[in-house]
Amino acid sequence: QENPVVLITYYSQSGNTEKLAQAVAKGAKSVPEVEVKLLPIDQVGESDVLEASAIIVGSPVYNANVAPAIQEFINSWPFEGSPMKNKIGAAFSTGGGISIGEELVMLNILHSMLIYGMIVVGGEETETAFGASAVTGEGPFGEGEMDDLFLKKGFGLGSRVAKLVVSFHNPPDWK
C-alpha cells in the first residue's frame, strides 16, 4: 500500500509564506510513512488535490483576508460527490503586523475546508491552535530570516497533520 500524501501548498509574493511552508514540510517529513508534496499554489493540479489525504494551505494576510489566489484555488476544488470529504485540512499564514489578520486568514481557510466536509485541525500546541502563523514586518520581526519561533510552529503543524494522516490511514479495529 502506498504512503498517504500530505500536500502543502501556498501563495507567496515576497517569500515569507514560502519560508513558513518549508518549515511545515520539514515537520511533515519528520514523520515516516507519508509522502510530502510542497508546491506553490499555481503548480497544483486537481489530481494533486484529489490524491492528497491531507492539505495544508498557507496564505499571506492581504487586508485581513486570504490572498485572492488562495480563495480561487479553494473555490476550484471538486465539490460534486464530496471527493474532499474527510481529508484532513490545516492552515498557516504570514502577516506583516502583529494581530492584524493572521488568525482571520487561517480561520477563513478552515471555514472553506469545512464546506467541503474536510476534518480541520490546528497545530501541536495551544500557540498554534488555529494553525501556524508568522509576523514578518513589525517590531523585532522584520525582514530577513524568519524567527525560529515561527518556524517551530510551522514544523509542529506539519508533523501533527502527518501523524494524524498516518493514524487515519491505519485505522484501529473499532469493532
Ligand X SMILES: Cc1cc2nc3c(=O)[nH]c(=O)nc-3n(C[C@H](O)[C@H](O)[C@H](O)COP(=O)(O)O)c2cc1C
The amino acid at residue 152 is K
Strand ranges (DSSP E) for 14-154? 35-40, 52-60, 88-95, 119-120, 132-135
**CA 141, CA 119: separation in Å to the nearest integer?**
32
Instruction: Based on the shown chain and the rule CB under 6 A, indicate whether residue 136 belongs to the binding site for ligand X.
Output: yes
Smallest gap from Cβ 153 to ligand X, in A, equals 14
Min dist. Cβ of residue 102 to ligand X (A): 7
- Contact flag: residue 53 with ligand X (CB under 6 A): no
Amino acid at 116: Y
Residue 94 interacting with ligand X (CB under 6 A)? yes
Q: Is 44 helix (H, G, I), strand (E, B) or coil?
A: coil
Q: With respect to ligand X, which residue has the nearer C-beta, 78 or 142? A: 142
When the beta carbons of 112 and 133 are compared against ligand X, the nearer one is 133
Interaction of residue 142 with ligand X, rule CB under 6 A: no
| Contact status: 40 vs ligand X (CB under 6 A) | no
